Amino acid sequence: GICSLSILSSGINAEYGDTWKSGSRSTGTSTTGKQKLTENKFLTRSKGNRFDPTKANFKKCRICRVSTHHPKAHYCQACAYKKSICCMCGKTLMSTKDYKMSST
| Direct distance between the N- and C-terminal alpha carbons of the chain, in angstroms, rounded to an integer | 16
The secondary structure of residue 94, as a DSSP letter, is S
93, 84 in Cβ contact below 8 A? yes
d(CA 1, CA 37): 35
CB count, 10 Å around CB of 93? 15
pTM (two decimals):
0.53
Residues near 22 by beta carbon (within 8 Å), at least 6 away in sequence:
31
Distance CA 64, CA 20 (A): 44
Residue pLDDT tens, the chain, 104 long: 677 777 766 665 555 455 556 665 555 544 555 657 787 877 777 777 777 778 788 899 999 999 998 888 999 999 998 889 999 999 999 888 888 877 65
